[in-house]
A and B are shown apart, each in its own frame.
Chain A
Amino acid sequence: MVWVTAQLSGTTEHGLVRRSVVTVVSLPERGALALSDGWDRFWNGYVDLADKAAQNRLLLEEIRRKDAELNRHREILSENERLKKLLDIKTTLAAPPMAAEVIGRNPSNWFNTLTINRGSDEGVTRDMAVISSSGVVGRVVTVYAGTSRVLLLTDPSSAIAATVQRSRENCILKGQVGSACEIKYLSQDADIKEGDVLVSSGLDGIFPKGIEVARVTVIDRSGSKYFLSVKAAPVADIRRIEEVLLMAGKAGD
């Protein structure tokens, strides 16, 4: 009773003892706690990991599905943009155009033609102008019942009446072997330079006036005495065209 009373009254000096005992006893306690915590962490981590691996697999599958969906949406968006551009051109043209899809290309390397999915059944006729959202593509040369063949502007048999947009010089744009174009009948003193844009002049009666055709790439003034030798590249991406517009009738303003 005396001992207890003394402790409670604080008159005896037991702090040091208590502290010492507690310190000594706490060491194994801490060790045990550390072990226990370590085991808990390990066990939870293992179970968690297995769980996370399963979740990971599910999430990866989800990501793959979403990627595929995203690619589909991108494709739809891209098609939408192309069709909107075509629609913009459609609304600025006087005559009602007809849309068509490219379904094939020429198997021979000597001719540059496309096959489209519109034919005489849908009112396609020979010499209809074919344009894309970027510019002139070519003209219809052969018409079948359900398909037609388009002669590209890069074909050596193709010739388009064009005008240099900047200087209004008239010229003829002819295709060349190797899918390039050449500008003919420009005199040596013609006002033309590299980078100039050529637009259809409408003088051939096939293409409406003012549609972009090609861009000047190389000018050689050292050849003929009278005419320039000028190379040009089509503005339309002939390799990747998928949709085109067909125009009928005479060219006008």
Chain B
Amino acid sequence: MELSLHGNRYRWLIAIALFLVPLQGTLLDISVAGQLRPDMALVAVYVAGFVLTPFRATLLGFLAGLLVDFLSGAALGISAFSKMLAGMLAASGRRILFLNRALAHSAMLFVLSCIDGFVTSLFLVYFYEGYFFTTAMAGMIIIQAAYTALAGTIIIIAADPAIALMRKIRGWLDKEQTNAVSGI
């Protein structure tokens, strides 16, 4: 399935995905397989990798991770570092891979989420008491990656028709307003 890669749409996606991060723990508290949620911050960072330079995508990853750290109560920098790495890889990756297919988006999101999960787990095992490398942890990383890949791909696929519909509605509203002003 071909997907378009135009700048403005992806800026909207970044904003929406970042907006969804604080909502993950409230309105979007949906989960599958043991309270796991898709990583919306990572989806935002991934999408940013298409429209921003590698430096800016890395910086956005850092900020998105910092937001997650603030909201989750973790030590500041754990998610910031892992998301920063994801942003850098996403921006670098698009120059290497010709990513205009849904399956490629899913695969890339899955890989980035696994890397993010692994880096985060390294920090947690080193700095926090009670975290150990176990099969349960590895399982959680894989399942979260799969869920993030699925959710992120659906959002990217749904973005194009949704934004087209919004533009249509906006065009219609503008036309109505013009008619009203001109007395038609």
Interface of A toward B, CB cutoff 8 Å: 103-113, 115, 141-142, 149, 155-159, 174-180, 239
Contacts and interface: CB of A to CB of B under 8 A. Distances in A.
30 contacts: A103-B26, A104-B25, A104-B26, A106-B73, A107-B21, A107-B40, A107-B68, A108-B68, A108-B71, A108-B72, A108-B74, A108-B79, A109-B39, A109-B140, A110-B72, A110-B124, A113-B73, A115-B25, A149-B73, A156-B124, A156-B128, A156-B129, A156-B131, A157-B129, A159-B130, A174-B130, A176-B136, A178-B34, A178-B137, A178-B140
Contacts, number: 74
A184 B24 CA distance: 32
Interface string B122-156: 00100011110010110110001000000000000
Interface residues of B, number: 31
A107 B24 contact: yes
B105 interface: no
Q: Which of A104, A149, A157, A159 has the most CB of B within 10 A?
A: A104
Contacts of A115: 25
Interface string B77-121: 001000000000000000000000000000000000000000011
Given A103-B26, A108-B68, A157-B130, A141 B124 contact: no
A177 B137 contact: yes
A155 to B, nearest CB: 8
Contacts of B139: 178
Given A108-B71, A176-B134, 11 more contacts: A106-B73, A107-B25, A107-B72, A109-B39, A109-B144, A111-B74, A113-B72, A142-B73, A156-B128, A157-B130, A178-B34
